[in-house]
Amino acid sequence: MTSHPTRAERLDRAIEGMLGGTPSTTAAAQAGMEAADRSLLDAAAALRGALASSLVAPRFEARLGARLSGVAGTPWLLRHPGRLIVTGAVGSAVGVGVTAYAVWRSSRRSSGVAHRLLQR
Amino acid sequence: MTAQPGPARRRAVDPDPDLADVRAAQRDRAAFGELYRRYLDRVYGYAFYLLGDHHDAEDVTERTFLAALGAIDTFRDEGASFRAWLFRIAHNQLVNALRARGRHRSTSLDADSMATDDDPALLAGRAEEWRRLRRALDRLPDDRRQVIVLRFVDGLTAREIGAVLGRSEGAVRVLQHRALRQVAELLDG
């Protein structure tokens, strides 16, 4: 005997198809969804599009990766080593720039003071 | 913490796609790096969408992977998949975090939690729809929101979600149906 799938089961089948790359209208038809439930599949598609994203900060990934590799006793390759290198390089460049500006300002200020003292 | 998910249930169809990597990690912990790279985003997403705070999400993610690495030898291919096992650990850590916090999420999820790999114009165009969806998600009861996040962020099946949450596959489908109906109504209203 074949039991008739419930609405929740049909919706789940349609979602499974949609997540597998089938267009939602096709997935709904293949799963035998009722018309009243089509809006639920639309909501599922919208949620899928809005929620599927990478949120992990590269620094956190690197820090946790280092900690885990310490536990495991072997270094691991990062997924995005380039991002971390770029982040580090930009940070270093900004640091060098700020330091150079501070030195320049300081030297100008002291030379101005010396100049005024010589004028007196 | 219980690392192993509830009652073992044999997967009826698909073999566990992570099994070879799990076996490798059981022989040599260094191989765990592959599983870490594969699941970092998903575990983090699960924690973030339930906690609503990046710092707390990082804490849960860190505890999850440390616990999983420590317990990797205890994983057995006896029903629940590796990812269901991993998310069960994440779920336990999440429950601990919520308990420690003493309240449920009060922080609303801001625009800075949107995808960062799209161009700004596209993100700006999507922003309003995204906010409406987020508001709808925020208004779901915890159990429904968990099902939605595990299904659409983490890509778990109803069976796997059942193993994570300690519920039957049918109960998960019903929760999913109710959650999506609520989201659809909130988006319409």
Q: Does any CB of chain B come closer than 8 Å to the CB of residue A76?
A: yes
Domain map (residue ranges) of chain A: 7-51, 58-119
Nearest to A40 among B30, B69, B181 (CB): B181
Return the pLDDT at A14. 96
Task: Kindly report, residue by residue over B63-81, the tens digit of the pLDDT.
Answer: 999 999 999 999 998 888 9
CB contact under 8 A, A55 and B54: yes
User: Which CATH homologous superfamily contains domain B19-104+119-188?
Assistant: PhyR, sigma-like (SL) domain (1.20.140.160)
What φ, ψ does residue B127 adopt, rounded to 5°?
Answer: -55, -45
Pick the residue from chain B with its C-alpha nearest to A59: B58
Task: Kindly report, residue by residue over B143-178, the tens digit of the pLDDT.
Answer: 999 999 999 988 899 999 999 999 999 999 999 999
CB contact under 8 A, A54 and B117: yes
Return the pLDDT at A103. 72
User: If we measure between CA atoms, which residue out of B9, B3, B41 comes closest to residue B22?
Assistant: B3
Phi-psi bin for B104: left (phi > 0), alpha (psi -120 to 50), beta?
A: beta
Task: Kindly report, residue by residue over A71-86, the tens digit of the pLDDT.
Answer: 877 776 556 666 555 5
Q: Is the pTM of this model over 0.90?
A: no
Nearest to A56 among B40, B134, B152 (CB): B40
Nearest to A11 among B49, B61, B177 (CB): B177
Name the minimum distance, in Å, from the CA of B88 to any CA of chain A.
19
In a structure prediction context, what are the per-residue pLDDT tens digits for chain B, which is 189 residues long? 444 444 334 444 568 899 999 999 999 998 999 999 999 999 999 999 998 889 999 999 999 999 999 999 999 988 889 999 999 999 999 999 988 887 554 444 544 444 445 555 555 656 777 788 888 998 999 999 999 999 998 889 999 999 999 999 999 999 999 999 999 999 887
CB contact under 8 A, B148 and A9: no
